[in-house]
Structure 1
Amino acid sequence: MIKIDIKKELHGSTGKMTLDVDLEIKSGDFIALAGVSGSGKTTLLRILSGLEEAKGTLKIDNEVWLDEKFCIPPQKRKIGFVFQDYALFPNMSVIENLLYAKKDKELANKLLEMTELKELAKRYPSSLSGGQKQRVSLCRALMNRPKLLLMDEPLSALDPNMRTKLQNEILQLHKEFETTTIMVSHDPSEIYRLSNRVIMLSQGRVVKDGKAKDVLLKTTGSAKFSLEGELLDIKKVDVIYIAIVAIGQQIVEVVIDNDEAKDLKIGQSVSVSTKAFAPMIKQN
């Protein structure tokens, strides 16, 4: 069990704010931290790791990591941290990067085999792809069999196919090592696929806490589905208006009425929803 009750003054996306988090996390959980940039997600990870100070208490199982008189330094906390930028030693081979964390060749070879890196053990980071580097970073984080694995948007720089592959490997390693995992992510599909609990922060406070479906689902009332996007343009065609909306990597056209055309502004965030028909899904 992890008990978190911390406070820290921050400069957030809209000015000064207080990160104020009071949570209990079960051992073995896979937690996704969600929320807009500047809401305090990465700071919370850094506090858990000991890289930043805060007021309050942190207790992992029966071990106190932080209280009003005491703070365990990062190197004495049994954690693994996977950064977005890999943070590998460029002058060390793959296997050397792992053994730097802990001199356990058997465990290092097991991790490399699980992540399909065994053949690259003697290669240096400069010769690896982004996906391979992130695998090495993940393996190194698990070398100490951490009680707590922290990941700060570890896959955001990778292409969709590689992200999906590494998501599967992360889930496999999480289950194999029975590690409690906390991951920052902005990707709804990643959050849904990996986590069993989603904690959403806004202005430093927990505003939603539950399963991915309950926290992330945007539909309300009788709507069949709802998608968020950016309004790019509004065009008048004969007697109707058409809104051009960017949703993810797609651009869609939506027919709107005269009143909607007057109220909407180019560049604002909008929701596109429907309840008049049943959507179909097909393979691409």
Structure 2
Amino acid sequence: MIHIAIDKLLHGSDGDLTLDIALDIKEGEFVALSGRSGSGKTTLLRILAGLESANGEIKVADTVWLNGQKELAVQKREIGFVFQDYALFENMTIEKNLLFVEDDKKLAKHLLEVTELYTLKERYPNMLSGGQKQRVSLCRALMKRPKILLLDEPLSALDPKMRTKLQSEILSLHKEFKTTTIMVSHDPSEIFRLASRVIVLDNGKVINDGLPKEVLLKTSGSQKFSFEGELLDIVKVDVIYVAIIAIGQQLVEVVVSKEEAEHLSVGAMVSVSTKAFSPVIKQ
């Protein structure tokens, strides 16, 4: 069990806010942290890792990581951290990047085989693709068999096909190592595939906490689906109006009435839902 009860004043682009979190996370859970940018997700990961200080308490099993009198050093926290930017040693081969963390060739070989990198073990990071570098980062984070694996949007820079492949590898390794995994993600499909629990932050507070299906599915009543996206443009075509909306990595066009078009603002976040197969847009 991970017990978290912390607070920290944050200075964001929209002004000051207090990160005020009280959570209990079960051993072996795969938790996704979601929410708007600037809501405190990455800061929470960094506090767990010991890279930032905070007030309050963090306790993992029977070990106190943080309280009013004690702050456990980063190297003693038994965590693995995978960043967006890979953070690999460019002057070391893939294998040596792993062995630098822990001199365990058997484990390094196993991790590289699982992630289909073993034949590339003598290559240097500058000879790898983005997806390959991220797999090396994941392997390196698991070399000490950490109790907690922290993932900060590790797949955000990859194309959809590579993201899906690495999601499968992350889930496979999570189950094999029985690691408690906490991942920051803005991708609903990624969260749904990987997480057993979703925690949504907003302005430094937990505003939703539950199963992925309960948190992510935003339908009600007779709605058949509901998605959120950014309204990019409203175009008049003959006598009708067409709203162009970015949902995830796709653009969709929805026909709207003149009255609806007048009440929508380009650049705003909107929800697209349907009743009886007739799309409805709300800002």
SS at match of 1:64: strand
Q: Which residue is 2:49 aligned to?
A: 49
8 A contact 2:32–2:184 mirrored in 1: yes
Structure 2 counterpart of 1:106, which letter? K
1:65 corresponding residue in structure 2: 65
Give secondary structure in 2 for the equivalent of 1:219: coil
Distance 1:160 1:258 in 2: 36
The residue that corresponds to 1:210 in the other structure is 210
**Alignment TM-score, normalising by the size of structure 2:** 0.94
Aligned-partner residue type, residue 201 of structure 1:
L
**What one-letter code is carried by the residue in structure 2 that aligns with 1:268?**
A
CA contact (8 A) 2:187 2:248 kept: no
* Alpha-carbon distance in 2 for matches of 1:181, 1:110: 20
Q: Quickly say closer, same or farther: Cα 1:143–1:218, change in 2 above 3 A.
A: same
1:245 to partner: Cα distance: 2.7
How do 1:231-250 residues align onto structure 2 when only pairs under 5 Å count? 231-250=231-250
For structure 1, the residue ranges without an aligned partner over 5 or more in a row are 280-284
Report the 3-state secondary structure (helix = DSSP H, G, I; strand = E; otherwise coil) of the residue aligned with 1:51.
coil
Gaps of 5+ in 2: none
Amino acid across the alignment from 1:233: D
Distance (Å, rounded) in 2 between the aligned partners of 1:30 and 1:116: 23
**Residues 273, 87 of structure 1: alpha-carbon distance in 2 compared, 3 angstrom cutoff:** same
**Where does residue 75 of structure 2 map in the other structure?**
75
Note if contact 2:231-2:246 (Cα within 8 Å) is conserved in structure 1. Answer: yes
Per the alignment, in what secondary structure is the counterpart of residue 251 of structure 1? strand
- After the TM superposition, which residues 268-283 of structure 1 pair with which residues of structure 2 at under 5 Å, given as runs? 268-277=268-277
1-side partners of 2:36 and 2:55: how far apart? 24
Determine the C-alpha separation between the residues in 2 that align with 1:267 and 1:70: 46
The change in CA–CA distance for 1:266 and 1:94 in structure 2 (over 3 A counts) is same
Tell me what 2:5 maps to.
5
Counterparts in 2 of 1:131 and 1:239: CA distance versus 1, 3 Å: closer
User: Is this contact kept in 1: 2:199–2:209, CA < 8 A?
Assistant: yes
**RMSD of the alignment, in Å?**
1.6
Structure 2: distance between partners of 1:46 and 1:278: 45
Aligned partners of 1:226 and 1:237: how far apart in 2?
Answer: 25
Matched-pair identity in %:
68
Residue of structure 1 in register with 2:137 after alignment = 137
Matched, 1:220 2:220: yes
Aligned residue pairs, count: 279
- The amino acid that maps onto 1:267 is G
Report Cα offsets for 1:238-258 as digits up to 9, x if no partner. Answer: 544333333334333323223
Structure 1 residue 11: Cα displacement: 1.6
With structure 1 as the length reference, what TM-score do the two structures score?
0.94
Deviation at 1:213, TM superposition (A): 1.0
For residues 207-238 of structure 1, give each alpha carbon's deviation from its aligned partner in whole angstroms, at most 9, with x where no partner exists: 00001111111222221111222223334445
Q: Which stretch shows the higher mean deviation, 121-130 or 256-265?
A: 256-265
Give 1:186's aligned residue.
Answer: 186
Shift of 1:113: 1.2
SS of 1:218's equivalent? coil
* Alignment partners' CA distance in 2, 1:98 and 1:241: 56
Residues 12 and 40 in structure 1, CA contact (< 8 A), matched pair in contact too: no
Structure 2 SS opposite 1:146: coil
> Against the structure 1 CA distance between its residues 253 and 138, is the aligned structure 2 distance closer, same or farther, given a 3 Å change threshold?
closer
